[in-house]
Amino acid sequence: MTRVLVLNGPNLGRLGIREPDVYGTTTLADLAELCRAEGERLGLDAEVRQTDGEAELIGWVHEAADGRLPVVLNPAAFTHYSYGLRDALAQLTAPLVEVHISNPAAREEFRHTSVVAGVATGTIAGFGVNSYVLALRAVADLLARER
């Protein structure tokens, strides 16, 4: 099975209790199980991680770059301003799918800009936690095309 890192940025550890009208009631543990199950179905070993720290997230991206691992990334607030994260992501050679639970383009104006999108293979947003399922399917499809 191909290992894929499913990385989550700040405040996503609060899923299920943080703004349920925007992010739903699914917890991070529920999301991790959903990703692992979908990954297994697709022949992917989905490893789900979450951090509130930019440096830790960048370290995980370096790990993915060094291991040539595909990444599904919800950068959360880092989406809009973390050039350090963007520069780390630019080093990836495997697929990178940016994912968001809500649709940033339909929210506050400061959320409309993603510094990550320019280095991502693609972006999936606005489908709730199903955005992760769609992102894993996209990764599996991209990997199949490479073979």
Q: What is the pLDDT of residue 135?
A: 98
Q: Is 102 annotated as a binding residue?
A: yes
Q: Is 41 annotated as a binding residue?
A: no
Question: CB of 7 within 8 A of CB of 73?
Answer: yes
CA distance 81 to 132: 22
- Across the chain, which has 147 residues, the per-10-residue mean pLDDT values are 97 91 88 98 98 98 98 96 97 98 81 92 97 98 93
Q: What is the pLDDT of residue 24?
A: 79
Q: What is the pLDDT of residue 8?
A: 98
Q: What is the pLDDT of residue 147?
A: 79
Active site (catalytic) residues: 23, 100
Q: What is the pLDDT of residue 146?
A: 87
The range of the structural domain enclosing residue 19 comes to 2-146
Give the count of domains, the chain: 1
Please report, for the domain that includes residue 19, its CATH number. Answer: 3.40.50.9100
Q: Is 82 annotated as a binding residue?
A: no
Q: Is 131 annotated as a binding residue?
A: no
Q: What is the pLDDT of residue 88?
A: 98
